[in-house]
């Protein structure tokens, strides 16, 4: 069953509708490369969605690109790096994938699964190698055996997971575009349904057949034998919002949680009161129906005096929430991991519980 995030839900957003993210006063670059920008992050997870420690390492991944002085340029040079969290600090371990001949131009966000000694990277293949700067998007994957030091070895040749977008989703194959207005087919996040063991990919999508320019959807695909098959969206926001970014699923206390990130600028006219933030819905099965968390869907929002300070939230089964430092009040771009947060989930209610604990590694 596909549920709908409606204008009436967003209309319930008020200053008390979600938890405020603490102010980020001074971005912490930790041990990261001072000449690079870092954004969209995710942990390496096991089959239950919990973060894993491999060879004593707490491993994460993030998009990164050289700092060219204009943060908008990062999207056109994005590459996934492996980063390690150690005693609360971040260390850049370098590119996840080596340079190789591929038909896409760059790597956008995804997820990473560790299972039976093998790490699988699900990611967005963005653009086309034949013509730089495009917004084409496809869901791809690659795998590598993990060594005793916790690091992946030789990766398999990356391959597309799904051919086409129909019948449920709009193509995301345009070369020209504008941030916030392009259509989506990106951010694959692997999930196993504990009810039957089935494997799913959640992803950011755009609803097919929509007459609205605001047609964001929480896409789903299901593993059938060796193949991934598109299924109807978990939910959509037709007439409400254009982008339900970083769509992902979490199972907690017999409930299924669908989370996504969005920005004020991608809401439809008349809904501009809603802040950029982490939003979500809850259900008691993968089939739904899905109910907005906190009545409106809003889970976390930046403070009113710094509405763009963090973005691109991702929740794991430990209820840790990662994001990156975006635009600060002085107009500077953070481009580093934001402090981790911890969620409290109780049925259809969600709030910040506390800061996430530092790594013991």
pLDDT in tens, the chain (361 residues): 899 999 999 999 987 778 999 999 889 999 999 999 999 999 999 999 999 999 999 999 999 999 999 999 999 999 999 999 999 999 999 999 999 999 999 999 999 999 999 999 999 999 999 999 999 999 999 999 999 999 999 999 999 999 999 999 999 999 999 888 999 999 999 999 999 999 999 999 999 999 999 999 999 999 999 999 999 999 999 999 999 999 999 999 999 999 999 999 999 999 999 999 999 999 999 999 999 999 999 999 999 999 999 999 999 999 999 999 999 999 999 999 999 999 999 999 999 985 555 443 3
Using CA atoms, how far apart are residues 294 and 312, in angstroms rounded to an integer? 20
Cα–Cα distances in angstroms (integers) from residue 173 to residues 220, 275, 320, in the given order: 18, 29, 33
Alpha-helical regions (H) of 11-153: none
Residue 15: the pLDDT is: 73
Using CA atoms, how far apart are residues 237 and 217, in angstroms rounded to an integer? 6
* C-beta separation of 158 from 142 below 8 A: yes
Q: Which tokens hold the place of 90?
A: 């971040």
Name the 3-class secondary structure at 253: coil
* C-beta separation of 40 from 324 below 8 A: yes
Q: Which residues sit opposite 205 in a β-bridge?
A: 185, 217
Name the 3-class secondary structure at 252: strand
Name the 3-class secondary structure at 301: strand
Name the 3-class secondary structure at 73: helix
Please give the CATH topology (third level) of the domain spanning 3-355.
Answer: Tachylectin-2; Chain A (2.115.10)
Tell me whether residue 137 is exposed, middle or buried, using C-beta atoms within 10 angstroms of its C-beta: 0 to 12, 13 to 18, 19 or more.
buried
Q: Which tokens hold the place of 181?
A: 């207005």
Using CA atoms, how far apart are residues 105 and 128, in angstroms rounded to an integer? 5
Residue 258: the pLDDT is: 98
Tell me the torsion sign for CA atoms 135, 138, 42, 272: positive
Q: Which tokens hold the place of 190?
A: 């692997």
């Amino acid at each position: 069953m596909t549920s709908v995030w409606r204008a009436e839900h967003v209309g319930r957003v008020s200053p008390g509708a979600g938890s405020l993210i603490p102010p980020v006063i001074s971005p912490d670059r930790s041990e990261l490369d001072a000449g690079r920008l870092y954004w969209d992050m995710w942990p390496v997870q096991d089959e239950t969605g919990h973060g894993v420690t491999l060879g004593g390492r707490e491993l994460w991944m993030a998009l990164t690109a050289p700092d060219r002085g204009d943060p908008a340029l990062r999207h056109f040079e994005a590459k996934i790096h492996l980063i390690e969290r150690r005693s609360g600090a971040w260390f850049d371990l370098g590119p996840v994938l080596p340079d190789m001949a591929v038909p896409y131009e760059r790597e956008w966000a995804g997820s990473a699964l560790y299972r039976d000694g093998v790490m699988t990277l699900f990611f967005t293949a963005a653009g086309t190698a034949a013509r730089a700067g495009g917004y084409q998007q496809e869901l791809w994957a690659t795998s590598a055996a993990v060594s005793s030091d916790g690091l992946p070895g030789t990766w398999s040749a990356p391959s597309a997971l799904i051919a086409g977008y129909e019948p449920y989703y709009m193509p995301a194959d345009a070369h020209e575009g504008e941030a916030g207005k392009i259509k989506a087919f990106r951010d694959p996040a692997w999930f196993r349904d504990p009810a039957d063991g089935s494997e799913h990919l959640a992803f950011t999508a755009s609803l097919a057949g929509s007459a609205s320019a605001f047609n964001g959807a929480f896409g789903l695909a299901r593993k059938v034998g060796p193949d991934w098959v598109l299924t109807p969206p978990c939910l959509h926001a037709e007439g409400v919002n254009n982008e339900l970014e970083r769509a992902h699923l979490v199972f907690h206390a017999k409930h299924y949680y669908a989370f996504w990130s969005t920005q004020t600028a991608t809401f439809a006219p008349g809904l501009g009161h809603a802040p950029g933030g982490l939003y979500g819905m809850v259900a008691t099965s993968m089939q739904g129906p899905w109910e907005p968390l906190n009545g409106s869907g809003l889970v976390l929002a930046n403070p009113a005096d710094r509405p763009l300070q963090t973005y691109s939230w991702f929740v794991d089964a430990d209820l840790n929430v990662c994001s990156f430092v975006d635009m600060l009040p002085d107009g500077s771009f953070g481009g580093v991991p934001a402090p981790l947060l911890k969620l409290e989930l109780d049925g259809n209610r969600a709030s910040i519980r506390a800061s996430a604990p530092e790594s013991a590694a």
